[in-house]
RNA sequence: GCGGGUAUAGUGUAGUGGUCAACACGUCUGGUUGUGACCCAGAAGAUCGUGGGUUCAAGUCCCACUACUCGCCCCA
């Protein structure tokens, strides 16, 4: 019989990595709350239509090949969420958040699922930290989500960070730009790689972020979308830059940063960090003023970002950043079985009730002190409390510091105070 | 969907076609009665991913499959 393994693209996060996870999610949560984002948790599963709508012609491919979709017995199709934004916008609409004080600022942390071949830092199940501001068109809101992302990475100790920004226009100006780009490329088809000729047909914007050789030269004189923006989009972009300048943030206008899907509007951004393999981006985000309508609500502007936890951790490791030391237990309670075990078990819960991190040495029979000491050492406890016959008799415990200090006998009544001291 | 690489104890590795498949770390026990880290001794733990093939002989060579991994496609 073949051994059962975890499904392709799924990860077990073992305790060694768990300390990175607790740290990153704790910092992310604290930062989001400090910025005034409120925590929301929406289902991992949504009706497939939520993710399919608004994705334009590409939606069929997405739903069939890139998402985990299940047909229920009653014929309804449900899908494991491939991102946060759609679910949060759905929750906004469904829960009448349009009548809350605007804007509504939400954050969430949890798993998302994409059915693609795993690559470094890209798994079929991975977790994201996601912040969204809905009901606000002010570019200062764009800056706020950008700063939330940036300052999280700074807090975690990342070096070499900067913003990559661009605008993806809006339904008014994006098509105009697409035409300009297509006619520029049309004259150069012989210079395009086969894959990019295909893109020219299907999704011309994607040529901009093509990794084929010679693209820099080929695109040197290509039209930039920021030169083709309508007045509204241009104003928005100028304001955004002004605010980033005011805050003295490092940013690069990257005309090759694109979003192919229609409901994305105006701001597109990524945060790049040095030394994270081929892909420098630790997060991606932008404005999606067309999404709410696309999924059947009334028009609500929104801006946000998502950042993969696994990717953040990968970057932390590559940059040689150490998480805070894993929490160590204060004490281990050791005993010799029999009556001393009863005393030890009782004491363990007394200490825990007093807020002291306590580990109990398990032993079905009498267990050697050597073995219990070794256990204490492995788990990095500060003290071992030894309980034997004489301690039971005298209502005391032997308190042994593991840092090499002198051990002493302490009355049980004074123990908690002594440990806290 | 398409390529490249890899597959040996829990982990990481070694292993010219031929004795009981080795080492490190980890785990467990012990080094006199109730004291860790370092050190020493001992133990457990692998039908060498699965299935075929070549051969007198396969962990080692060949094929297929599967898994993992790196990349491509795609990228919300």
Q: What is the pLDDT of residues A42-83, one digit of tens each?
A: 999 999 999 988 665 556 667 767 889 888 999 999 999 999
Q: How confident is the model at residue A327 (pLDDT cuts 50, 70, 90)?
A: low
| Most confident among A7-21, A182-196, A287-301, A326-340 (mean pLDDT) | A287-301
Q: Are A359 and A333 in contact (CB under 8 A)?
A: yes
Lowest mean per-residue pLDDT among A205-219, A234-248, A372-386: A205-219
Q: How confident is the model at residue A335 (pLDDT cuts 50, 70, 90)?
A: very high
Q: Of A17 and A223, which is predicted with more confidence? A: A223
Which phi and psi angles does A273 have, rounded to 5°?
-130, 150
**Beta strands at A281-287 and A265-272: parallel, antiparallel or unpaired:** antiparallel
pLDDT at A2: 61
pLDDT at A260: 72
pLDDT at A278: 43
Q: Is the CB of A82 under 7 A from strand B?
A: yes
The residue with tokens 């946000």 is: A304
Residue A241 confidence (pLDDT) above 90: yes
Contact positions of strand B to protein Cβ (< 7 A):
1-3, 27-31, 34-37, 50, 67-76
**Overall average pLDDT of the A258-267 stretch:** 86
* Angstrom distance, A129 CA to B22 C1': 47
Q: How far apart are CA A315 and CA A272, in angstroms?
A: 11
pLDDT at A386: 97
Q: How far apart are CA A89 and CA A84, in angstroms?
A: 9
Residue A125 confidence (pLDDT) above 70: yes
Beta-carbon contacts of residue A393 (< 8 Å; ≥ 6 apart): none
Q: Is the CB of A321 under 7 A from strand B?
A: no
Residue A223 confidence (pLDDT) above 50: yes
Lowest mean per-residue pLDDT among A5-14, A62-71, A349-358, A362-371: A62-71
pLDDT at A398: 97
Q: Of A194 and A157, which is predicted with more confidence? A: A157
Q: Is the CB of A117 under 7 A from strand B?
A: yes
Residue A279 confidence (pLDDT) above 60: no
Q: Of A327 and A313, which is predicted with more confidence? A: A313
Q: How confident is the model at residue A192 (pLDDT cuts 50, 70, 90)?
A: confident
Q: Is the CB of A62 under 7 A from strand B?
A: yes
| Domains of chain A listed by start with CATH number | 15-170+229-318 (3.30.930.10), 174-221 (no CATH), 331-420 (3.40.50.800)
Q: Of A204 and A151, which is predicted with more confidence? A: A151
Q: Of A352 and A116, which is predicted with more confidence? A: A352
Residue A385 confidence (pLDDT) above 80: yes
CA angle A97, A99, A100 (to 5 degrees): 65
Q: Is the CB of A116 under 7 A from strand B?
A: yes
Q: How confident is the model at residue A360 (pLDDT cuts 50, 70, 90)?
A: very high
Share of chain A above pLDDT 70, in %: 95
pLDDT at A387: 96
Q: Is the CB of A297 under 7 A from strand B?
A: no
Residue A371 confidence (pLDDT) above 80: yes
| Most confident among A30-44, A204-218, A361-375 (mean pLDDT) | A30-44
Chain centroid offset of residue A207 CA: 28
Q: How confident is the model at residue A277 (pLDDT cuts 50, 70, 90)?
A: very low
Q: How far apart are CA A340 and CA A317, in angstroms?
A: 45
Which nucleotide across the nucleic acid strands is nearest to A388, CA versus C1'?
B34
Q: Is the CB of A83 under 7 A from strand B?
A: yes
Packed helices A15-34 and A139-155: angle between N→C axes, nearest 10 degrees: 140
Q: Is the CB of A301 under 7 A from strand B?
A: no
* Angstrom distance, A21 CA to B22 C1': 37
H helices of A210-362, in order, are 215-218, 231-246, 291-294, 309-318, 338-353
The interface predicted TM-score of the complex, written ipTM, equals 0.87
* Angstrom distance, A199 CA to B62 C1': 41
Lowest mean per-residue pLDDT among A35-44, A46-55, A409-418: A46-55
Q: Of A104 and A272, which is predicted with more confidence? A: A104
* B50 closest protein residue (CA to C1'): A2
pLDDT at A342: 95
* Angstrom distance, A47 CA to B49 C1': 39
The tens digit of pLDDT for each residue in A139-167 reads 999 999 999 999 999 999 998 899 999 99
Which nucleotide across the nucleic acid strands is nearest to A402, CA versus C1'?
B36
């Amino acid at each position: 019989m073949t051994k059962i393994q975890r499904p392709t693209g799924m990860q077990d996060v073992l305790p060694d990595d768990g300390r990175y996870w607790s740290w990153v999610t704790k910092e992310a949560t604290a930062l989001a709350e400090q910025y005034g984002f409120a925590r929301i948790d929406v289902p991992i599963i949504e009706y497939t239509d939520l993710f399919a709508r608004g994705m334009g012609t590409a939606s069929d491919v997405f739903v069939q090949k890139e998402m985990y979709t299940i047909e229920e017995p009653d014929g309804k199709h449900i899908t494991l969420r491939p991102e946060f934004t759609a679910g949060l916008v759905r929750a906004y609409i469904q829960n009448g958040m349009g009548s809350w004080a605007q804007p509504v600022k939400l954050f969430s942390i949890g798993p998302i699922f994409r059915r693609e071949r795993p690559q470094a830092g890209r798994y079929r199940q991975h977790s994201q930290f996601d912040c969204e501001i809905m009901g606000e068109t002010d570019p200062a809101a764009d800056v706020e989500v950008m700063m939330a992302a940036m300052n999280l990475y700074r807090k975690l100790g990342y070096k070499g960070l900067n913003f990559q920004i661009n605008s993806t226009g809006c339904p008014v100006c994006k098509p105009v730009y697409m035409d300009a780009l297509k006619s520029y490329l049309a004259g150069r088809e012989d210079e395009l790689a086969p894959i990019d000729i295909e893109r020219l047909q299907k999704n011309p914007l994607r040529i901009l972020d093509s990794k084929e050789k010679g693209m820099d030269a080929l695109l040197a004189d290509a039209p930039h979308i920021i030169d083709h923006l309508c007045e509204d989009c241009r104003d928005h972009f100028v304001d955004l830059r002004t605010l980033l300048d005011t805050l003295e943030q490092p940013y690069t206008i990257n005309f090759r940063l694109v979003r192919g899907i229609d409901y994305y509007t105006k701001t597109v951004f990524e945060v790049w960090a040095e030394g994270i393999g081929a892909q420098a981006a630790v997060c991606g985000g932008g404005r999606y003023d067309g999404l709410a309508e696309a999924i059947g609500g009334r028009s609500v502007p929104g801006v946000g970002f998502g950042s993969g936890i696994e990717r953040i951790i990968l970057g932390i490791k590559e940059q040689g950043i150490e998480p805070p030391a894993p929490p160590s237990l204060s004490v281990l309670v050791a005993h010799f079985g029999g009556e001393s075990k009863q005393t030890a078990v009782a004491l363990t819960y007394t200490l825990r009730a007093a807020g002291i991190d306590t580990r109990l040495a398990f032993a079905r029979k009498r267990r050697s002190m050597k073995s219990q000491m070794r256990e204490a050492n492995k788990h990095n406890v500060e003290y071992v409390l030894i309980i034997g016959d004489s301690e039971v008799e005298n209502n005391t415990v032997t308190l042994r510091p593991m840092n090499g200090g002198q051990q002493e006998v302490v009355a049980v009544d004074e123990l908690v105070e002594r440990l806290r001291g």
